[in-house]
Structure 1
């Protein structure tokens, strides 16, 4: 049985991983959707992400206007010409020169608590993709502590880590092999740093009386 949950969420990533895919031509929204679909499919098979919508960030290359964000619901496959046209149709009407800056997924994923109960959490894993000349970049980011050795409060939760981190690591490895692209770790943040396909454990000197640093002071 899956239960809804509301995990504590960090405003910055606990960990992120990025890949660059060479398209061999000028990358566009179709290349982005194809890459996004491949990665999302891997995460979906492992219960980590069920894409419900895609957020489009439109930028204005000819002006200094702020980026515009539009959300396009998903009712089927996202790597189709029909869905690409729906995304392109979300271009701001007053900005015909606007172009796609990035695409970001929205959707739920499953995590397991210390008692073995499975919960659904919104945006458990976030995917972002953007066109970069002939490359498409795609990033997977996590903002919750279920992937780390300790909770945000600093309390160790080995059962939670063991129930969730290996599944994420396996998915990231599959993304790497599927895209035939090296996995690049994201920059460390206040809430965590990447170690391979997981979140770095605290250094021994950071542990005091069995507790890691308390990070809850910066949680929203």
Structure 2
């Protein structure tokens, strides 16, 4: 689904932290480049487990980030590639599996991080995010939980909440660039 909407064109690496039950996080994170293997390869779980820290034979992981680049459309409609346009985190729990999609760019919002309106960029990109999230719901057979709001925005439905007109000052949104 993410590939179909060009949000994650080709996963290029995985990242995951290790922990030991009863001890906690080890402070060790593994990165595995996906040069010669795909996410659907049956050997991938063995390769992930082969990365376990040698001094910690009981080490486990709870989540894996799937990273790569995605494509966004700029104000002129040109395609631009961006590393980590979205981050897909797959969380493994004893009895179930869950996924979390994170976005870290202002292209999904109607105002950029500096509070400037960029409706052309928003209108070219936000519907792609919405379509990808709806497709994920259909495939997984569950409705996504929008998650918590952050300093930069809040999820609403299958996208980001639009800027409240009452928050505008002289036509500008809130400048959130202080946290970049």
Question: TM-score normalized by structure 2?
Answer: 0.95
**Are the equivalent residues in 2 in contact too, given 1:62–1:97 (CA < 8 A)?**
no
1:64 Cα deviation (Å)? 4.2
- Tell me what 1:84 maps to: 45
The alignment status of 1:70 with 2:30, answered yes or no, reads yes
- Pairing of 1:1-220 with structure 2 (within 5 A): 42-49=1-8, 50-64=10-24, 66-74=26-34, 75-219=36-180
**Are the equivalent residues in 2 in contact too, given 1:56–1:87 (CA < 8 A)?**
no
The unaligned stretches of length 5 or more in structure 2 are none
1:97 Cα deviation (Å)? 0.4
1:174 Cα deviation (Å)? 0.2
Secondary structure at the counterpart of residue 126 of structure 2:
helix
CA RMSD of aligned residues (A): 1.2
**Are the equivalent residues in 1 in contact too, given 2:17–2:25 (CA < 8 A)?**
no
Worse-superposed segment, 111-120 or 130-139: 130-139
**Are the equivalent residues in 2 in contact too, given 1:78–1:84 (CA < 8 A)?**
no
The unaligned stretches of length 5 or more in structure 1 are 1-41
Matched residue pairs, number? 178
- Runs in 1 of length 4+ with deviation above 3 angstroms? none
CA deviations 1:12-61 (Å, max 9, x no partner) are xxxxxxxxxxxxxxxxxxxxxxxxxxxxxx11122111200111221111
Secondary structure at the counterpart of residue 121 of structure 1:
strand
Higher relative contact order (CA 8 A, sep 6+): 1
**How far apart, in 1, do the equivalents of 2:146 and 2:55 lie?**
38
- Tell me what 1:24 maps to: none
- Tell me what 1:36 maps to: none
Q: Between Structure 1 and Structure 2, which shows a larger proportion of helix residues?
A: 1
**How far apart, in 2, do the equivalents of 1:205 and 1:177 lie?**
35
**Are the equivalent residues in 1 in contact too, given 2:62–2:93 (CA < 8 A)?**
no
CA deviations 1:176-215 (Å, max 9, x no partner) are 0000011101100100001101111121210111111000
